[in-house]
């Protein structure tokens, strides 16, 4: 049960991050399409901070809308499912909404969405007014300290969230390290794929194949984001399958010999000897004691 609790608590973080990568990819495309608009805004007197604030406000609006719709869908599913399975339950199920977890989930989703949206939005600050009249104008490039600071804040936020979700800090820390390794491996593979398609594509291959391979390394490609999305999605599905098999194997005791099939609860310390003698007088073995609860 502890393993199941840790799994259900931490596995929700993976689709949340997967959604964040999807948000970053969508915002990246949106910003690339709006570079001319950003340049025009700069030409008519908009400052860098004002232009950046406009698109941040758009990202916040989308994040808030997604959080509200997601919470509404979650509450709706919890309202419908008990009605559908009512005939299969031996008791009457009473539905109520725990608003505090719903609000926490909305705030967490909104925060993750905003942090992942800010990464591509930082490029808005580099757009020059010259881009409005020179299509080929190159934006300023180089290291952006604010981007590295934002990445550090995102990593710290994910670590704090994982530690809060897990009752054992070692499990939460191990999850964060494993997730970081997965991100690092996928990023490295994406970089290697870009280099390989640039240098190792044979000139004798058909034009369609060479054109498709070239799109993986040309400017403004989304190879990294797409590979992260696909890789994390596959990672999620494989993790769900493997952990499901592991948990089921732990619960399945029918194939093992000498396993108890009855557990006696609320046996006090002073009652333990008497209960044990009573069980043995009925020709039943006492197989094990779990926290002083005899299992027969």
For residue range 164-189, list pLDDT tens digits in order.
Answer: 777 777 877 888 888 888 888 888 98
pLDDT of residue 32: 80
Phi-psi region of 97 (alpha: psi -120 to 50; beta: other; left: phi over 0): beta
DSSP of 36-92, one letter per residue?
HHHHHHHHTT--HHHHHHHHHHHHHHHHHHHHHHHHHHHHHHHHHHHHHTGGG-SSP
Q: 60: burial class by Cβ within 10 Å (0-12, 13-18, 19+)?
A: middle
Domain boundaries, the chain: 2-251, 265-296
- On whether the CB atoms of residues 27 and 270 are closer than 8 A, the answer is no
Asked if residue 262 lies in contact with residue 294, where contact means CB atoms within 8 angstroms, the answer is no
Is the overall model pTM greater than 0.75, yes or no?
A: no
Residue with the larger pLDDT of the pair 55 and 161: 55
Rg (CA), the chain: 28
Mean pLDDT of the chain: 80
> pLDDT of 60-98, one tens digit each?
898 899 889 989 998 888 888 877 877 777 667 777 888
What Å distances lie between residue 149 and 105, 118, 129, 243, CA to CA? Answer: 25, 11, 26, 34
d(CA 161, CA 155): 10
Residue-level pLDDT at 41: 86
**pLDDT over 60 (residue 289):** no
Give the separation between CA 225 and CA 24, rounded to whole angstroms.
8
- Say what the pLDDT of residue 256 is: 60
Using 50, 70 and 90 to split pLDDT, how confident is the model at 292?
very low
């Amino acid at each position: 049960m502890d393993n199941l609790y840790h799994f259900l608590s931490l596995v929700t973080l993976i689709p949340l991050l997967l959604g964040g990568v999807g948000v970053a990819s969508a915002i990246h495309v949106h910003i690339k399409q709006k570079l001319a608009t950003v340049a025009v805004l700069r030409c008519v007197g908009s400052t860098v901070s004002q232009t950046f604030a406009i698109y941040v406000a758009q990202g916040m609006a989308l994040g808030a809308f997604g959080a509200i719709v997601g919470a509404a869908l979650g509450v709706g599913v919890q309202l419908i499912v008990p009605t559908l399975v009512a005939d299969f339950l031996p008791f009457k199920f009473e539905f109520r909404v725990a608003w505090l977890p719903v609000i926490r989930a909305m705030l967490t989703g909104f925060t993750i969405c905003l942090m992942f949206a800010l990464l591509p939005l930082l490029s808005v600050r580099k757009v020059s007014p010259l881009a409005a009249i020179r299509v080929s104008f190159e934006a300023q490039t180089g290291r952006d300290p604010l981007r590295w600071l934002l990445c550090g804040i995102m990593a710290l936020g994910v670590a704090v969230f994982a530690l809060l979700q897990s009752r054992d800090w070692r499990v939460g820390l191990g999850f964060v390290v494993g997730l970081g390794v997965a991100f690092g491996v996928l990023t490295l593979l994406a970089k290697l794929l870009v280099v390989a398609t640039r240098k190792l594509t044979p000139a004798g291959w058909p034009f369609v194949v060479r054109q498709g391979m070239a799109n993986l390394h040309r400017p403004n490609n989304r190879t990294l984001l797409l590979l992260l999305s696909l890789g994390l999605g596959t990672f999620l599905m494989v993790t769900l399958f493997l952990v499901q098999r592991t948990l089921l194997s732990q619960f399945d005791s029918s194939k093992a010999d000498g396993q108890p099939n009855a557990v006696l609860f609320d046996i006090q310390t002073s009652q333990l000897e008497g209960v044990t003698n009573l069980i043995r007088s009925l020709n039943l073995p006492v197989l094990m004691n779990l926290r002083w609860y005899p299992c027969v």
